[in-house]
Amino acid sequence: TGMADFFNKNIKKATSRTKEKLLESVGKAQRTQDEAFDFHAVNLNKQAKACERLHKDLKVYADALKKLTEAEKNLHESVRQAYEGEWPDREHVVALTNTLDIQADELEKKVNDELMGSVSNYVGQFNDLKKKVDKRGRKLVDYDHAKNNFNSLKASSKKGDADPKVTKAFTELQTAEQMYKDMNKELLEVLPATYDSRITFLVDTLQTLFNSRSTHQTECAKLHKQLVTQLDALGVSMDSLRVARPEGLSTTPQREESPERSSGSPAPTPSPLPQPSPAPSSGPPSETGVAPTPTKRTSVVEEKCENTLYPKLNSAPPKDSNESPAPRTPETRKDSKESKDSKEVSGRRSVGANPFGDDEDQEKTAGKENEKKSTNPFDEEEDEEIDAEKIDHETVNGRKVMYLVRSTHEYKAVDTDELSFASGELIKVLEWKTEDNLDDGWNMGVTEDGSIGVFPENFTKRE
C-alpha cells in the first residue's frame, strides 16, 4: 500500500508539473522569473564545459606521457647495452641514463597521480550542482502550480477564505514556497562561489603542471649535456679503440687485381698502344730492393665516412676555395718507386700512338678553312663542344668511347696502370670488360696525351 501511494503521488506530481509547464508556455499561467539565478546557472554550465574539456585533454596528455616515459626508459636501456664496457667512463653513462629514467618517472607520477586526482575531484562537483539546479527547477514549477491553484480557487469560491478547499490550497502553497525558497537560497550562495573558484583552480592546476615540466626539462637538459660531453670523449678516443689490423695491410682494402695481374706476368699488349704492366700484388720486390707499400685508394672514403659519423673530430681549418685539393694518395711510397713508375709511364707514352688522331676532323667555321687542323680532338678553341654522334661511334683499342669527363682535381698515379692528370683535363671514358676487374668508383679512360689507364671517378665530372 505504501509503495502504491508513493507511486501515485509521483505520477500526480509529474502530471501537475507537465500541465503547469504547458499552461505557462501558452500564457495561461503565470511563471515566476528569477534573473539572478538564471545568470548563475548559465555561468555554471559554461564553467563545467570548460573544466570537463580540460580534464579530458589532460587525461589524454597523462596517458601519452605514461607511454613516452616507457619509451624513454627502453631507449636508455638500449643505450646502456650499446655502450661497451671498455669504452671510457661507461659507469658515468649508465648513471646518467638511470637518472633520466628517475626524472621521467617523477614527472609521470606527478601528472597521473597528483594532478589528475585534483582535477577529477574538482570536475566531479558539477554533476551534483547540476542535479540541484534541476531539482530547484522542479520545485519552482510546484510553487507556481500551487500559487495558481490557490488564486483560482479563491477567485471562484463563494465562501472566500473560509472555504476548506481554499484553506488546503493555501497550505500547499506555503509548503511549496518554503521548499523552493530554501533550495533557491542555497544555490544562490553556492553557484557564485563555485564560479569564482575557477580562477584558483586554473592557477593551481596549471602551475603544478608547468612547474613540474619545467623542473623535469631543466634537469634532463643538464643530464643530456653531460651525455653529449661523454660522447665527445668517446669520439676523441676512436683511434685508440679501433679494431687491430693485420701487419703489412692498409687500413682499407685496396683494389683487387685480376688473376692475370696477380700472377706477376705482364698484361696483354693491345694495339696500337701497349697496355702497361701492373706491379704484381704478391710478386718479388722491386729493383731497388724495397717492397712497395700497399696503396690506400679508399682512404678518402674512410675519412669521409668518419667525418660523416662524427663531424666534430674534423678539427682541420677549412681550405681556401681557390686552392687545389690535397693529394689523395699516401706519402709512404718511396721516392725510388715513384721515380721508377713515372719513368715507365713516360717511356710508354712516348712510344704509343695517339688514339685521338683523326684525319677526318670536321671543318671549323668558314673563316678558318685554310688554317691547320689539329689531329687531337682535345685541342679546342673557345671550349668547342665535341660532336656527340662522333663519340658514340668512336673506339680506342677495340673499346667503345662511352662519354667524356673533365677532371676536377689533380691526380697522380700511384701504380703503373693508373692515369695521371691535372685539373681541367678531358678524359674519354672507355667501356670496361670483365677481365679489367675494376673496383667500384674506378673507370678505364684515355687522357689527352693518349695514355690509357684507370682513374678514380670522384676526381672527375661528366661533360
pLDDT value for 170: 87
Residues 156, 144: Cα–Cα separation, whole Å: 18
Kindly report the backbone phi and psi dihedral angles of residue 454, in degrees, each rounded to the nearest multiple of 5, phi listed first: -100, 155
Cell of residue 17, nine digits: 508539473
Q: Look at residue 240 in the predicted model and tell me its pLDDT.
A: 83
Total count of residues recorded for the chain: 463
Helix, strand, coil percentages, rounded to 5, for the chain: 60, 5, 35
Cell of 444: 678505364
For residue 380, give the C-alpha cell.
Answer: 679546342
Look at residue 273 in the predicted model and tell me its pLDDT.
Answer: 42
Q: Of 25-29, 47-51, 313-317, 427-431, give the range with the top mean pLDDT.
A: 47-51
Residue 436: its pLDDT value, please? 77
- The b-or-e profile of 407-444 (16+ CB within 10 A means b, else e) is bebbbebbbbbbbbbeeebbbbbbebeeebbbeeebbb
Q: What is the pLDDT of residue 353?
A: 41
Residue 243, burial from CB neighbour count under 10 angstroms (0-12, 13-18, 19+)? exposed
Q: What is the pLDDT of residue 312?
A: 47
Cα dihedral across residues 399, 404, 407, 408: positive or negative: negative
Cell numbers given for 72: 624513454
pLDDT at 17 over 50: yes
pLDDT at 364: 41
Phi/psi of residue 403, each to 5°? Answer: -170, 175
- Mean pLDDT calculated for residue range 422-444: 86
Domains within the chain, CATH numbers bracketed: 20-237 (1.20.1270.60), 385-462 (2.30.30.40)
- Look at residue 288 in the predicted model and tell me its pLDDT: 39
Report d(CA 145, CA 148) in Å as an integer. Answer: 5
CB atoms within 10 A of CB 457: 16
70 pLDDT band, cuts 50/70/90, is very high
Check pLDDT > 60 for residue 329.
no
Whether residue 233 contacts residue 86, with contact meaning beta carbons closer than 8 Å, is answered with no
Q: What value does the mean pLDDT of the chain take?
A: 74
Q: Does the pLDDT value for residue 441 go beyond 50?
A: yes
Amino acid at 289: G
> If you write DSSP's letter for every residue of 324-381 in order, what string do you get?
PPPP-S-TTS-HHHHHHHHHHHHHHHHHS--TT--TTPPP--GGGTTSPPPSSTT--S
> 458 or 67: whose pLDDT is higher?
67
CB 283 within 8 A of CB 416: no
Cis amide leading into 325 (omega within 30): no
Q: Which of 396, 410, 408 is nearest to 450 (CA)?
A: 396
Report the SS3 class of residue 402.
strand
pLDDT of residue 337: 40
Enumerate long-range contacts of 16-19, CB under 8 Å, 24 or more apart.
Answer: 16/142, 16/145, 17/138, 17/141, 17/142, 17/145, 19/145
Residue 241 has pLDDT above 70, yes or no: yes
Question: Worst-scoring range by mean pLDDT, 10-14, 207-211, 303-307?
Answer: 303-307
164 pLDDT band (50/70/90 cuts)? confident
pLDDT greater than 80 at residue 141: yes
pLDDT tens figures, 124-140 = 999 999 999 999 988 88
Q: Picking from 83-92, 142-151, 178-187, 303-312, which range would have the lowest pLDDT averaged per residue?
A: 303-312
Instruction: Give the bridge partners for 418, in sequence order.
Output: 454
Least confident of 25-29, 219-223, 283-287: 283-287
pLDDT-derived band at 415, boundaries 50, 70, 90: confident
- Per mean pLDDT, which range of 249-253, 317-321, 451-455 is the poorest? 317-321
Q: 215 burial class (0-12, 13-18, 19+ CB within 10 angstroms)?
A: middle
Report, as an integer, the average pLDDT of 32-46. 90
The three-class DSSP label of residue 46 is helix
Confidence of residue 387 (pLDDT cuts 50, 70, 90): low
Q: What is the pLDDT of residue 349?
A: 40
Average pLDDT over residues 351-367: 42
Q: What is the pLDDT of residue 232?
A: 92
> Distance between CA 102 and CA 96 in Å, rounded?
10
Over residues 221-237, the mean pLDDT reads: 93
CB atoms within 10 A of CB 35: 6
Q: Which of 232-241, 314-323, 422-431 has the lowest mean pLDDT?
A: 314-323
pLDDT at 416: 84
pLDDT of the residue at 321: 40
Mean pLDDT of the region 148-167: 78
Residue 264 has pLDDT above 70, yes or no: no
The amino acid at residue 369 is: E
Query: Are the C-beta atoms of 251 and 245 separated by less than 8 Å?
Result: yes
Residues with Cβ within 8 Å of residue 386, at least 6 apart in sequence: 377, 404, 463
Q: How does residue 79 score in pLDDT terms, banded at 50, 70 and 90?
A: very high
Alpha-carbon Rg for the chain in angstroms: 48
Q: What angle do CA 263, 259, 432 make, to 5 degrees?
A: 130
Question: Residue 382: pLDDT band by 50, 70, 90 thresholds?
Answer: very low
Is the model's pLDDT at 203 over the cut of 90?
Answer: yes
Residue 7, pLDDT score: 60
> Is pLDDT at 330 greater than 80 in this prediction?
no
Residue 314, SS3? coil
Give the residue among 435, 447, 456, 459 at the shortest CA–CA distance from 346: 447
